[in-house]
Amino acid sequence: MARFVLRRIVTMILALWLIITLTFVIMHSVPGGPFSSERKAPPAVLENLNARYQLNDPYWKQYVDYFSNIARGDLGPSFKYDRTVNEIISEGFPVSAALGAVALSFSLGAGILLGTLAAWKHKSWLDYSAMLLAALGFSVPGFILGGLLMYVFAYELMWLPPAMWGGWRHVVMPALALSALPMAYIARLMRSGLLEVLRQEYISTARAKGLSYGYILVHHAFKNALLPVITILGPLAAAVFTGSFAVESIFAVPGLGRYFVVSVMNRDYTLILGLTVFYSAFLLVMNFIVDLFYFLLDPRIRPAGDGGG
Amino acid sequence: MELSKEDFQPLRGRGLPVEEAPPAPESYWGGVWRRFRSNRQAVLGTAVIAFMVVLSLVGPYLSGYTYYRQDLELINHPPGALYWFGSDALGRDIFTRICYGARISLGIGFLTGVLSLVIGVLYGGISGYAGGWVDEAMMRAVEVLNSIPFLLYVILLMVLLEPGITAVLTALGAVFWLNMARIVRGQVLALKEQEFILSARLLGAGTWRILFRHLMPNSMGPVIVTMTLIVPEAIFTEAWLSFLGLGVSAPMASWGVLASEGMEGLRSYPWQLFFPAFFISLTVLAFNMLGEGLRDVLDPRLRH
């Protein structure tokens, strides 16, 4: 146990270091420096800007400064807005997190339900339609699904508002658009996990002693089939968050994802890099927690060599 | 015992019972082909993909328009006889643009698949074959890289590189080989301890011969499946990048670019989104079906 946790921590720290170094290198390989893309500033202004952002220091010093700033949780200023990256995060992240949490919970609920139904009525129309739904979830990109939902529910039926943020009515469509892919993943994993467990001999034993199929499914198979679903929660959270970049822009949700897209379009380098570091660190920690959780839940695994992602 | 001349004639000509030789055992690829033909999912997926490929090749010459010709008098024209799939905000023929987009999207998908195949097979093959601390170090590196949400770095790369096909390929190739490397390494690790490798070595086969003649062909199944599943993911990711404004640049258009253009006029001209959305989804679905089908076909032990 201790060895496993230690290994995960070391991996996480290495990854964090790699992330910060990568962003630093990228920041400094921007052609001409961050200020040259705008209209030509007078040399004196440029000089002042460079001095303010300490761009005249030797690289190693900038690297150390950058590192220690991040270690203190300071992601620096935005080049385009008159605000710090931290302020932008504290404003946008709660919105994104709320949306992501709704999307993930929905995909968990719907995915587990679909997968269980499919396994319960294996090779029936229920199974096939659940798997068709999952296949569709795999095939329609989130932002396109968002557009289609918007067309149907906002423009044609006029049931839901097409944009902005406020009550639950604003959450429905973006959350649906975000949850399609994770839902499909979870449904498939759940189904194959259940079918796998149902082939085991102890299930036959349970049948032989007279337990009903439904009882076995719920009390014996369910818990075991749930484990693979948990392992994939980390990557799925990552998928939801990266998906939210596009989906938040479509529905004009004032979350971090939209800031990210806007910063990409503005070439606001410090904001892009700050948000990247933030997202990466957040997802790394999420992954770590999921792994720990998994380890605690399943005493059988003693991971070695080939680790999960 | 009396022997007549007739006894020395072939049995076959005399209508007498003949003991037939058993049919030659089915070769691996023979079995693959037989299972492939009877796997509806795989066949259907292949058919759709083939249709898309043909469409991308001949489609642009069918309608008589080019992908860049603008007709500002006929902008946002609904689908009909004039423009099969309608026209866009600049009066360009959406059908022709979708056929061209197929070249770009499919091309990016295939090339990313091949790129990650090459890198992944080399990296994973070496790691698995070398074993020991080399394997440990190489796989730890993959583990660290894998824990980084790489789509973010794809964005960063795209911001740095000039947007275009090369940039998209570089960024996607840099990400998707990781999974491939893990699969290949697992295969090689499982295979290299088996007896046929030992006998090959006893017979004097060198490292490269063992790698390329014995290990690689035998680990092809999961590798092909992984590659098939990388293609739709790459198409997906490219569409998403295009939506963020980081895809191929105008006037060329991948399906992702077309879809995000369609998003702008969604309220009044929904077909501008519907057609690209349909083509992306159908193609991704087809590749996923083929991949899932191939998994059953290539490795019948792994049936779900």
Mean pLDDT of B215-237: 84
Q: Chains A and B: how many Cβ contacts under 8 Å?
A: 133
- What distance in Å separates residue B7's CA from the closest CA in chain A? 59
Q: How confident is the model at residue A106 (pLDDT cuts 50, 70, 90)?
A: very high
pTM for the full predicted model: 0.80
Give the integer Cα–Cα distance in Å for B115 and B128. 20
Question: Looking at residue A167, what DSSP letter applies?
Answer: S
Selected residues 209-238 of chain B with any CB under 8 Å from a CB in chain A: 232, 236
Mean pLDDT (whole number) for A8-22: 82
Q: What's the Cα-to-Cα distance from B257 to each of A145, B175, B240, rounded to whole Å?
A: 15, 21, 9
Chain A residues near residue B281 by CB distance under 8 angstroms? 136, 139-141, 144
Give the tens place of pLDDT for each residue, B35-59. Answer: 888 888 888 989 999 998 888 888 7
Helices marked H in chain B: 28-37, 40-58, 94-130, 132-146, 150-160, 165-192, 195-202, 207-209, 216-218, 220-243, 255-264, 271-298
- Answer whether B144 touches A (CB < 8 Å): yes
Task: Judge: A264–B146 Cβ closer than 8 Å, yes or no.
Answer: no
Q: Is 70 exceeded by the pLDDT of residue B214?
A: yes
Per-residue tokens: B244: 């963020």
Cβ contact (<8 Å) for B239 and A144?
yes
Q: Which chain A positions have a beta carbon within 8 Å of B236's beta carbon?
A: 141
B117, B227 in Cβ contact below 8 A? Answer: yes
CA within 13 Å, CB half, B290: 22
Residues A223-247 have a mean pLDDT of: 81
**How close B163 gets to chain A, by Cα (Å)?**
12
pLDDT (average), residues A75-97:
81
**Tell me: the pLDDT tens digits for A36-77?**
555 566 677 767 766 766 666 777 777 888 788 887 777 777
Q: B300: pLDDT confidence band, cut at 50, 70 and 90?
A: low
Q: What is the mean pLDDT of residues A202-222?
A: 83
Distance CA A235, CA A309 (A): 7
The tokens describing B61, both together, are 């010459």
pLDDT at B179: 85
Which of A26, A144, A272 has the most B C-beta neighbours within 10 Å, making it the best mutation to test the interface with B? A144
Mean pLDDT score, B214-231: 83
Q: Are the Cβ atoms of A272 and B282 closer than 8 angstroms?
A: no
Does B147 reach chain A within 8 Å, measured CB to CB?
Answer: yes
Top residue of B147, B157, B261, B267 to mutate, by most chain A CBs within 10 Å, is B147
Mean pLDDT of chain B: 80
Amino acid, single-letter form, for residue A195: L
Mean pLDDT of B145-173: 77
Q: Is A306 in contact with B246 (Cβ distance < 8 A)?
A: no
Task: Name the residue of chain B whose CA is nearest to A199's CA.
Answer: B304
Closest C-alpha among B82, B29, B51 to residue B285: B51
CB contact (8 A) between residue B270 and residue A151: yes
A305 has a pLDDT exceeding 50: no
Average pLDDT over residues B181-191: 85
Q: Which residues of A touch B143 (CB under 8 A)?
A: 11, 307, 309
Average pLDDT, whole number, for chain A? 79
| CB-based contact A144 B144, cutoff 8 Å | no
| pLDDT bucket at A301, cuts 50 / 70 / 90 | low
pLDDT at position B21 over 80? no
pLDDT 10s digits, A172-187: 788 888 888 889 989 9
Contact A279 B156 (CB under 8 A): no
ipTM: 0.77
Q: How far apart, in whole angstroms, are the C-alpha atoms of residue A188 and residue A23?
A: 36
- In this prediction, residues A105-116 reach a mean pLDDT of 91
Q: How many angstroms separate the CA of residue B15 from the nearest CA in chain A? A: 50
% of chain B at pLDDT higher than 90: 4
The residue among B28 and B180 whose pLDDT is bigger is B180
Q: Could you tell me which residues come within 8 angstroms of residue B248 by beta carbon, excluding any fewer than 6 positions away?
A: B104, B163, B164, B165, B168, B242, B254, B257
B1 touches chain A (CB under 8 A): no
Q: Specify the range with the lowest mean pLDDT, choosing from B73-87, B193-207, B240-254, B286-300.
A: B73-87
Q: What is the pLDDT of residue A239?
A: 79
Could you say which of B143, B151, B276 has the minimum Cβ distance to residue A11?
B143
Q: Which residue of chain A has the CA closest to B162?
A: A31
The phi, psi pair for B87, rounded to 5°, reads -120, 160
Supply the DSSP symbol for A36.
S
Task: Check residues A94 and A57 and name the one with the higher pLDDT.
Answer: A94
Minimum Cα–Cα distance from B182: chain A residue:
A306
User: B180: exposed, middle or buried (C-beta count within 10 Å: 0-12, 13-18, 19+)?
Assistant: buried
Interface test with B, best of A12, A123, A131, A139 (most B CBs within 10 A): A139
Say yes or no for a CB contact (<8 Å) between A148 and B273.
yes
Q: Does B170 touch chain A (CB under 8 A)?
A: no
Identify from A133, A138, A271, A287 which residue to disrupt to test chain B contact, counting B C-beta atoms within 10 A and taking the largest count.
A138
Cα distance between residue B289 and residue B232, in whole Å: 10
Q: Which neighbouring-strand residues pair with B87?
A: B93
pLDDT in tens, B101-122: 888 889 889 999 999 999 988 8
From chain B, pick out residues whose CB is under 8 angstroms from the CB of A195. Answer: 304
Contact B266 A261 (CB under 8 A): no
Question: Rounded to the nearest 5°, which phi and psi values hold at A166?
Answer: 180, -95
CA distance A98 to A105: 11
**Do the chains contact at B148 and A276, CB–CB below 8 Å?**
no
pLDDT at A307: 41
What is the SS3 assignment for B93? strand
What residue type is B273 in one-letter code?
L
| pLDDT confidence of residue A266 | 76
B132 touching chain A per CB within 8 A: no
Q: Measured between CB atoms, does B51 come within 8 Å of chain A? A: no
Q: Tell me the chain A residues in contact with residue B288 when contact means C-beta distances shorter than 8 Å.
A: 135, 138-139
Q: B73 or B261: whose pLDDT is higher?
A: B261
CA-based nearest residue to A142, from A114, A169, A111, A182: A182
| Confidence category of residue B250, pLDDT binned at 50, 70, 90 | low
pLDDT at residue A14, rounded to an integer: 84
* Runs of H (alpha helix) within chain A: 2-29, 43-52, 59-71, 85-120, 125-139, 142-149, 168-198, 201-208, 213-216, 222-231, 233-250, 256-266, 269-297
pLDDT at A39: 56
More confident residue, A40 or A134: A134
